[in-house]
Amino acid sequence: MKTFLAAALLCLSFALPVTARADEDAFSGLTTTQFNVIATSVSQIAQEGGPRALPVLRALSDHKLFAAKEGDGLFIQTDSGWQDARTGAAATPDPEMVRPVRLNNHVRQAVAAAEAQLQLIAGTPAERQAAATLLYQRHDPAMLPAIDAALGKTDDASLKTMLQDARAATLLTPGAPPSDEQTQRQAVATLYAAGGLDARGVLTQATTSEALAPATRKDAQDAVASIDRSLRLWGFGQDAFYGLSLGSVLLLAAMGLAITFGVMGVINMAHGELMMIGAYTTWLTQRAVMSVAPSLGSFSLILAVPAAFLVCGALGILIERGLIRFLYGRPLETLLATWGLSLILQQVIRSLFGPTNVAVITPSWLSGSFHLGGLEITLNRLAIMIFAIAVMGGLMLVLRRTSLGLEMRAVTQNRRMAALMGIHTARVDALTFGLGSGIAGLAGVAVSQIDNVSPNLGQNYIIDSFLVVVFGGVGNLWGTLAAAMTLGVGGKALEPIVGAVSGKILILVLVILYIQRHPRGMFPLRGRGVES
């Protein structure tokens, strides 16, 4: 019995310091494998502050934090080796005996909040602003003291506004310390003034929150209704943006076809595959640039534009010389031959690069979005719109202002007359087809930023492209532009009302009805040339 007691005591005496240590040290929680313990520990680290808090949290979110497999050692992997997470001193753990500290969304949330909390005090102005925004979005009642502290310290007007919004949002969140009706209504007013989806979320929650006074809830209800009204108004603008951006994609896809089909009259079923090859060229360019000069990687897209144009243009000339020139005036044969060609091109790409998607990276200058009033403008879409307009402008210039463009128009309007005037029509045919194909390549570059890059890419666009060209009026670039934008805006206007599937059907029905009445499309070519 005595020995048992002694043993028990001995155990206790060992156990005590260990438990005491775990209580003292917020970092110990990080060495467990339970996500909720890690998350609690992260919040605790942020509460305590301390010089090691931020480096450890950063290491955690960068997957650079490692825990010893035994004991509660915690290490940060650096470029040059290891350091002890608690002290920052160099350390030499056995790499076999450490494991990375894992994260899940719960932990990631805690880390983001903790980092924001720390940066609110110690960060650069930009970091503080970002931190305040995050606290506003999260509106976690536990952060209220941190927000108050930061409010007391800052003089920066915009930071102060953001912090006040964050404070208001936090006060209205369930679990916040009780506040008087005056403060609550003030908070509702602040959020109402802030507007936007985040404010709407908090206010919606507030309308049913038991912790708030009835008058506050009523205020919140009015505010939600009012925010909804303004969101709905902005929504029209947003839908218009979505529509124009969809229209730009359609325009890019259809413009090449407007040349080959519209101007030359070649039904080119391999048009989509040329786009696909343009997208693969983008991918290859990106890989090449990454391996030669990784620092220029984010600009590889700019390099891909001429590359795709040249590759697809050359391929187009090859197709014209090797296949299509034997089939002029025989639309059905052309259709079958180019259809076969499209299958061949798909299979070639599949054999060369595999059937799976390849990852084209979106450079950082094209990622994300910015706000314009209540509109959210995504950068990649905006870039595609600008790109589409630029390509359209360039194409117009080529057709209107260059001798090639003149010859093209001459040949397509009256081949024999043009030949009699000394124009080398075969050469012009090849170049025209090359131009159309090159533009398909450019479309491929743009599409690689928003869609799959796989051998099937082209099939998703070929029908839409024909639709745009036919709807707009064959042979008329302005018609193509108008048709693309009509289809884009129309589609996006219908989508929120009737859903994506029915929206598409409805658009197609409308287009078919329109073409029934106006077989030559929106902007038909007129004149004697057309009749022949």
Partner 1 sequence: MRSDRMAECLGTPADASVSGYLRINDRCTFVINYASLRMGIFAPTMMLVKSIQLRTGVMTMSPRFSRRDFAKFSLAASTAMLTGLKGASAATPKGEPIRIGVLHSLSGTMAISETTLKDAILMMVELQNRKGGVLGRPLEAVVVDPASNWPLFAEKARQLLAVDKVASVFGCWTSVSRKSVLPVFEELNGILFYPVQYEGQECSRNVFYTGAAPNQQAIPAVDYLLSADGGGAKRFALVGTDYVYPRTTNQILQNYLKGKGIADADIMVNYTPFGQSDWQTIVSQLKSFGSGGKKTAVVSTINGDANVPFYKELAAQGISATDIPVMAFSVGEEELAGMDTKPLVGQLAAWNYFESIDTPANKAFIKEWHDYTKNPKRTTNDPMEASYIGFNLWVQAVEKVGSTDHDKVIDAMVGLKQANLTGGTAQVLPNHHITKPVYIGEIQDDGQFNVVWQTPKEVPGMAWSPYVAETKNLIGDWTKPISCGNYDTVKKACLGAKHG
Residues 480-499 that bind partner 1 (CB under 8 A): 492, 495-496, 499
Residue 122 engages partner 1 in binding (rule: CB under 8 A)? no
Residues 179-238 that bind partner 1 (CB under 8 A): 197-198, 200-208, 231, 238
Stretch of 273-281, 312-320, 328-336, 477-485 contacting partner 1, by CB under 8 A = 328-336
> Smallest distance from the beta carbon of 288 to partner 1, in angstroms?
17
Stretch of 77-85, 243-251, 309-317, 396-404 contacting partner 1, by CB under 8 A = 243-251
* Cα distance between residue 91 and residue 98, in whole Å: 12
Choose between 86 and 139: whose C-beta lies nearer to partner 1: 139
Choose between 47 and 456: whose C-beta lies nearer to partner 1: 456
Measure the CA angle with vertex 103, ends 99 and 104; round to 5°.
145
Find tokens 């260059």 and name the residue.
402
Stretch of 294-302, 416-424, 448-456, 524-532 contacting partner 1, by CB under 8 A = 448-456
The closest alpha carbon to 327, from 409, 416, 260, 273, belongs to 260
Choose between 22 and 231: whose C-beta lies nearer to partner 1: 231
Which residues on adjacent β-strands are paired with residue 82? 77, 91
Choose between 88 and 499: whose C-beta lies nearer to partner 1: 499
Find tokens 């600009």 and name the residue.
299
* DSSP state for residue 527 in the 8-state scheme: S
Residue 339 engages partner 1 in binding (rule: CB under 8 A)? yes
265: left (phi over 0), alpha (psi -120 to 50) or beta: left
The closest alpha carbon to 455, from 367, 525, 355, 531, belongs to 355
Residue 333 engages partner 1 in binding (rule: CB under 8 A)? no
> Smallest distance from the beta carbon of 203 to partner 1, in angstroms?
7
> Smallest distance from the beta carbon of 379 to partner 1, in angstroms?
7
* Cα distance between residue 300 and residue 282, in whole Å: 8
Stretch of 76-84, 161-169, 375-383, 478-486 contacting partner 1, by CB under 8 A = 375-383
Q: Are 76 and 55 in contact (CB under 8 A)?
A: yes
Residues 51-110 that bind partner 1 (CB under 8 A): 102, 104-106, 108-109
> Smallest distance from the beta carbon of 369 to partner 1, in angstroms?
6
Amino acid at 313: G
- Give Cα separations from 440 to 378, 446, 465 (angstroms): 23, 10, 10
Site mask, partner 1, residues 275-314, x = CB under 8 A? ----------------------------------------
Residue 362 engages partner 1 in binding (rule: CB under 8 A)? yes
Q: Are 357 and 453 in contact (CB under 8 A)?
A: yes
For 196-315, where are the E strands, in sequence order? none
